[in-house]
């Protein structure tokens, strides 16, 4: 989900803020290690968000 958030650093900061100091978070990301380059274009948007 974090890959869809423009300011991922702020989102991670918020996760840390709401977790207990001893809390643990398991975050999954879609990743393809076979790709040599990642293409992102934040100007592409849909009505769904």
pLDDT single digits (tens) 7-41: 889 998 999 999 999 999 998 888 889 999 887 78
d(CA 29, CA 42): 18
Predicted structure pTM score:
0.55
Structure tokens at 29: 């990301």
Q: Name the residue ranges covered by the structural domains of the chain.
A: 1-27
d(CA 15, CA 7): 13
Residues near 23 by Cβ (< 8 Å), separated by ≥ 6? none
């Amino acid at each position: 989900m974090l890959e869809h958030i423009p300011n991922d650093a702020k989102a991670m900061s918020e996760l840390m803020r709401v977790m207990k100091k001893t809390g643990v978070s398991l975050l999954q990301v879609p990743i393809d290690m076979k790709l040599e380059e990642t293409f992102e274009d934040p100007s592409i948007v849909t009505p769904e968000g």
